């Protein structure tokens, strides 16, 4: 998403809040005319997000098509896995060729920890035990590139049980990297300073949260 100046980020946040109000209104309203008004508010918010993000309005509407019911932040679940040398496990995202912690959107029917273990297995081939929660972050409070969604990120600490093969199609490479030798990261998913913070948290037995 191109715009990262404070004014554009503020406008994006306002548009997301406007869209959330419209979505929640559509969920609760029983009136025909109120529904039409909320649908118009949603269309305005789609247009605003599209303009700020340099996206097609139809594409924005498509992204939010399945966002129904009371509006909530989306939940991104990640897993930080370190080896004995203190190197961190990263996977390369097939979509952009950049590296990230294994993880993704939380799946219905699994707990957050189960989601984290599943993502590691699918994206890296490693089976891990989930040790504990390291961080609960609101991505809007960190210097990620702006996103059309409001996202909360949970990061768990994992320990390798055994290695295996990739079973998913979202990643195409895997490796352990020294913290001072990280590959190009997918900054919309994880940032270098966050990886260093996760290392500090696992060493100090602390939890970080926004």
Q: How far is CA 46 from the centre of its chain?
A: 20
Higher pLDDT, 75 or 1: 75
Nearest-Å Rg of the Cα atoms of the chain is: 19
**What is the mean predicted confidence (pLDDT) over 100-124?**
94
Which secondary-structure segment (H or E) carries 210? Answer: none
Bridge partners of 173, per DSSP, are 92
**Whether residue 159 has pLDDT greater than 90:** yes
Least confident range of 63-67, 99-103, 191-195: 63-67
Tokens of 203: 């060493």
Task: State pTM to two decimals.
Answer: 0.77
pLDDT reported for residue 4? 60
pLDDT reported for residue 66? 65
Which secondary-structure segment (H or E) carries 133? Answer: strand 127-138
pLDDT reported for residue 127? 96
What confidence tier does 1 reach under pLDDT thresholds 50, 70, 90? very low
> What are the tens digits of pLDDT across the range 48-71?
877 777 777 777 677 676 677 766
Helix (H, G, I), strand (E, B) or coil at 49: helix
Tokens of 37: 């008004």
């Amino acid at each position: 998403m191109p715009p990262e100046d404070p004014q554009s980020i503020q406008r994006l946040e306002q548009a997301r809040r406007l869209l959330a109000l419209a979505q929640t209104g559509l969920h609760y309203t029983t009136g025909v005319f109120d529904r039409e008004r909320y649908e118009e508010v949603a269309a305005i918010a789609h247009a605003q997000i599209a303009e700020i993000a340099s996206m097609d309005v139809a594409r924005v509407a498509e992204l939010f098509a399945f966002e129904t019911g009371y509006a909530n932040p989306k939940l991104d679940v990640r897993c930080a896995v370190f080896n004995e040398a203190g190197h961190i496990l990263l996977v390369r995202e097939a979509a952009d060729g950049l590296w990230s912690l294994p993880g993704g959107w939380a799946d219905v029917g699994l707990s957050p920890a189960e989601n984290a273990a599943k993502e590691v297995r699918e994206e890296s081939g490693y089976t891990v035990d989930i040790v504990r929660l390291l961080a609960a972050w609101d991505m809007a409070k960190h210097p990620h590139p702006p996103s059309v969604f409001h996202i909360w990120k949970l990061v768990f600490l994992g320990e390798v049980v055994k290695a295996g093969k990739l079973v998913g199609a979202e990643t195409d490479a895997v490796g352990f990297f020294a913290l001072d030798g990280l590959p190009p990261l997918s900054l919309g998913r994880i940032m270098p300073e966050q990886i260093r913070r996760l290392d500090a948290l696992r060493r100090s037995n602390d939890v970080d949260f926004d």
